[in-house]
Chains A and B, each alone.
Chain A
């Protein structure tokens, strides 16, 4: 184990206080007023969402608390506090979301202020995690360690988050607003956000490629580049101009069309782009220097660990692994990547659809303290944790420590790491139990050793429990969103399957192929992999093969989506309920499926 001098003094940087004590007291007071009937349900809901608290599925006495982790960076102390709070007030586990939040479920409304109180103690907040606000500002978990990046975007993400939180211009937007930072052109979710930013350097000047108007949902759009290059001194004014324009012109009437992407669509890109650039000039001319100083990138910048020696022992990673490889080799191969700092590695913690118990969190926090030279973790949109700055010589010890609490499953960076939103485990809008399905996919794939097949490695499976994309199904190689189908006299839980979504600066949205019954999803994916293995050409990966089929350029029996659909049809056809009752029961249930939903709370 290597010693890093003054590690505890260096990190964490507790200038990073996001929470405010007075807000929990106000929340506790509002709950009382609401229970006494002194404020209306609508007013209370708006207030509650502004403070990161959703109602739970068909039971409004309980809440889901969404803890924002700006830029995804979280300290061991913060993790330990979340473990304590989840044990005391929630269900003893916490949940990593797809936008770098950590969620606590089934908290009694009356205890939400207690959870907030605990979060403030360690600098965290739930403020503006839900509602018509700027949601958590996310940043690629590779930022700062990525070999392809031009510079570390993390301080910019945190500075923008700090400037916008509690900012009056963000308190009553037409709808939620999402900002995503990437590290490079490959990693990151920049084209599915209202504002997506990729760091770039032109003529020695730092800046960004800015994408506007993307987003996933019932209707999804890919963001478009605002201009060739936006220098860093225009970052704040560009973001402010976009939010102001959305605030003024966004649709406040029709809830189904009030995200900014619809404004872009209605206005037309050219007009929208002109208006943004004009608005930006106005912002630049009218922003007081005091206000501009509140955007302070330097204050958010932390010193990343320096390379202290060059005599590091690199881990020996087997080139080829299989189900028969030893567990550590398999884990090294599928969960560990080298950083641009040659000494160090980033290690991924495989979770099942983002779930982690309080005890696991505590062990993880201890391991971070002991082994990560930056003494922090990042949560990822793949619902895992990335622990960075681990030295090659420490990897085996790190593995053993987390393995003692079941956190050393392989497959984090492979097709086995399926994403699943919370689905019917807690969400009002969910039709199906996407959460459990994602876990079942992961379990089955690890059992079959699909994580060991490198040709499947760049493929992703992402599952949402309804069309509203929290599981980000449109950017998966194979994506699914939940629904219900009537077959004969019975309803069956089904998923709409999409092919060929991708992330990064050239990200594309997946295309719908067909419906698949919930209980046939795993078989269907396995069949697709089987066909791929028979028909691929040379080194083609599953992801590349699927993209070709989407484009109608396949060379085997599956040339295009129609062929594919025909091949899969036999698996996806259900017999009547009397012959196959299991298929009419969703995962996690023992009674026949029925689609039950209540009002969504996404929009306040």
Chain B
């Protein structure tokens, strides 16, 4: 009996220590010094939705395999965890071949990426929308290939607007305040504007207001976070919350996904800044009657649209250049890229995509402005830090004791010192 236990222990110890073999999926990309073409590449993709993201990429992998003979390992990671996952891989020199993320410039700065000259066919590159090419370009070369885009618009609850006797969406900030006050006055917990300045996406919420007051994060290649317009904008947002009291409770600590959007979806908010996935949810629920409009501007000038794109970047690894190029060729074929974007409910990144989507009346508000949409400075590696600083600090400015100028001064100093 002793023998049996000792044997069992020994076997267990062996099994636990001699950890070779197994059924590992193998290291992605070749690790050999030679540049023999790889037979397998790895994609780490961010998850936009449970129903569509993994399904699309798995199908894509089959198509890719059929076309090139190369295996495509797909790992879909939630947005909450993808920074940690990519960092872990890079710390261990195990970067994937393709990474899907909302930033790329720091990776380009670290010389980890292929530029479009190396992996993008000319026909593909010329089809990309120019403002996305620009935001994907770091020091004169394009590294951030856009996978999809979205544009923000003002969503307003038409029932509440009618009840409050408001004819149409506000065009200026004064009208905006007045409308929000009328809706708040309806009572019963209704708020004029659901404002998410919590850490989840504060930089997006602030950007869209900032752009519509003539401000920007950077102007002529210099940080202008604490410019007078921006202080004015943030002060306006604080006033909405603290003085006018037309926002929901505690906007500096409200996130978008589980804070501002649900309030609008419940019919309790007159206005919110939304994007096409919100529209899809609202249509599905069919509880709230809403319409979309361009953002109001400070003085009533031409509205600016805030656009966002995420990126598919390619890591330089021995022997994977052709495989990566084939990946992009296939991804940007209209059948693939537009199918993905349509399934996820986002907006196109190519000229041909804009044409294809133009027939959808629901997307008209966005498509008209997409080519002129302004983006955050994702082409500056420092932005990757500044964005986090913004997310963690802006909310404090709209609290009752908040100081918009002080907050922006601090962010400006942080940006100037390299994030």
- The answer to whether A and B belong to the same complex is no
Q: Give residues in A with beta carbon < 8 Å to B.
A: none
